[in-house]
Amino acid sequence: MKAAWYTQNGAAADVLSVGDLPQPEAGPGEVRVRVHTSGVNPSDVKFRQRRPLDFERIVPHSDGAGVIDQVGAGVDPARLGQRVWVWNAQWARAWGTAAEYVVLPDAQAVLLPDTVDFASAAGFGIPLLTAVQAIRLAGNLAGQTVLVTGAGNAVGHYVTQLAVQAGAQVLGTAGSPEKAGHAQQAGAHAIINYKTEAVGARVLALTKGHGVDVIIDMDFSSTAALLSENVLKPHGRYVCYGSNTTGVLPIDLRTLLWHSNSLHCFLVYDLPAADRAACLDTVAGLLQYGALRHAVAGRFALEDIVNAHQMVESGKKLGTVVVDIAHD
């Protein structure tokens, strides 16, 4: 079976290998998915670059899509042949979707409607589930103004669509004209170029000095500083799903406290079971009704996985980078 893997941290060209590995077998409560597409997320790149390896060899990527071709004991045989998308394939596990086959717990292979292609589905496990959970935590958005940081990125593109559908006006940040256009296609009302504009001042100008009701943020390390500029209204909600810098970070507690702001942080890999179930139900409905625009930034063969990782690292992608898994 063809697969990609790495055995140490480092640059993609230095540590990623492609070759043959033994084909896995589904155990009790598991399914085996014949992978068609494997999604490459920024976290996959960061894990390969610097996350300490928990296993001797890592087959990367948590997201993907394909067809169930084997079920283990205790799994309904009717699942054989189902088109599915998968989540958390390589979270706390050695074996992700950058391979011809992946074995997963039954619940981590989710039915994929025939109307959705495998390339789009390769971006559901992290980007779409993150966006859905962020919107859930943001609460009722009807008539609200929402600041979405990174609105042209994979998660932000989904967040923007969902917020607009919920009745919000979205102000988005983006770092290039291309990403600004991508966010506007998703329904953003206005885009702030964070590389050339003072984000806080621009938000206040756009909201006539009132600030926004909700911030949905991809980078706490930079966006939290805006709190002291009163960009978030009193009783506003701040939802954070990531940070480019971790560890101890400064936060304006006085503003949070005196404005009665709420702060919600979450990791999409580690959703509580009830939240995960609610998100999956929401995704199923969105897919059933074709309510979302999906974006694929680029497609690469498994043998070209290095270039796929490098495209993600470039920060210029518009959508999910997909590795197509060919089968003999």
The pLDDT tens digits of the residues spanning 175-228 come to 999 999 999 999 999 999 999 999 999 999 999 999 999 999 999 999 999 999
Q: Give the whole-angstrom CA distance, residue 269 versus residue 180.
A: 28
Is the predicted pLDDT of residue 328 greater than 80, yes or no? no
CA of 147: how far to CAs of 13, 89, 261, 319, in Å?
37, 31, 15, 20
How much is the mean pLDDT over the chain? 96
CB atoms < 10 A from the CB of 107, how many?
Answer: 14
For 128, which DSSP code? Answer: I
Are residues 61 and 107 located together in one domain of the fold?
Answer: yes
pTM above 0.95, yes or no: yes
Q: Give the whole-angstrom CA distance, residue 320 versus residue 295.
A: 6
Q: What is the dihedral of CA 188, 191, 194, 198, to 10 degrees?
A: -120
Query: What was the pLDDT predicted at 80?
Result: 98
Are residues 163 and 36 located together in one domain of the fold?
Answer: no
Query: What was the pLDDT predicted at 327?
Result: 87
Are residues 146 and 263 located together in one domain of the fold?
Answer: yes
Are residues 97 and 205 located together in one domain of the fold?
Answer: no
Count of structural domains, the chain: 2
Q: Give the whole-angstrom CA distance, residue 117 versus residue 92.
A: 27
Asked, for residue 76, whether it belongs to a domain, the answer is: yes
Which residue matches tokens 């709190």?
A: 227
Query: What does 223-276 look like in DSSP terms, one character per residue?
Result: HGGGGGGT-EEEEEEEEE---SS-SS----HHHHHHTT-EEEE--GGG--HHHH
CB atoms < 10 A from the CB of 15, how many?
Answer: 17
Query: What was the pLDDT predicted at 84?
Result: 98
- Please enumerate in sequence order all residues whose Cβ is within 8 A of that of 3, keeping only pairs 6 or more positions apart, or say none: 18, 19, 20, 21, 59, 98, 99, 100, 302
Are residues 149 and 259 located together in one domain of the fold?
Answer: yes
Query: What was the pLDDT predicted at 72?
Result: 98
Q: Report the share of the chain in percent with pLDDT over 70.
A: 100
Q: Give the whole-angstrom CA distance, residue 125 versus residue 91.
A: 11
Judged on CB neighbours under 10 Å (0-12, 13-18, 19+), 68 is buried
Mean pLDDT of 41-50: 96
In tens, the pLDDT along 214-269 reads 999 999 999 999 999 999 999 999 999 998 877 778 888 999 999 999 999 999 99
Nearest residue to 218 via CA among 260, 251, 278, 174? 174
Type of residue numbered 59:
V
Query: What was the pLDDT predicted at 46?
Result: 95
Are residues 94 and 188 located together in one domain of the fold?
Answer: no
Query: What was the pLDDT predicted at 248?
Result: 79
Query: What was the pLDDT predicted at 203?
Result: 98
Query: What was the pLDDT predicted at 249?
Result: 80
Query: What's the start-to-end Cα distance of the chain, in Å?
Result: 10
Mean pLDDT of 1-17: 98
Are residues 203 and 299 located together in one domain of the fold?
Answer: no
Are residues 306 and 259 located together in one domain of the fold?
Answer: no
Query: What was the pLDDT predicted at 172?
Result: 98
Structural domain span for residue 166: 127-269
Are residues 170 and 87 located together in one domain of the fold?
Answer: no
The β-bridge partners of 84 are 66, 111
Pairing mode of beta strands 30-40, 101-105: antiparallel
Is the predicted pLDDT of residue 91 greater than 80, yes or no? yes
Query: What was the pLDDT predicted at 251?
Result: 86
Taken as a whole, the chain contains a residue count of: 328
Q: Give the whole-angstrom CA distance, residue 290 versus residue 284.
A: 10
Q: At 297, is the pLDDT very low, low, confident or very high (cuts 50, 70, 90)? A: very high
Are residues 100 and 182 located together in one domain of the fold?
Answer: no
In tens, the pLDDT along 136-154 reads 999 999 999 999 999 999 9
Q: Report the share of the chain in percent with pLDDT over 90.
A: 95
Are residues 166 and 140 located together in one domain of the fold?
Answer: yes
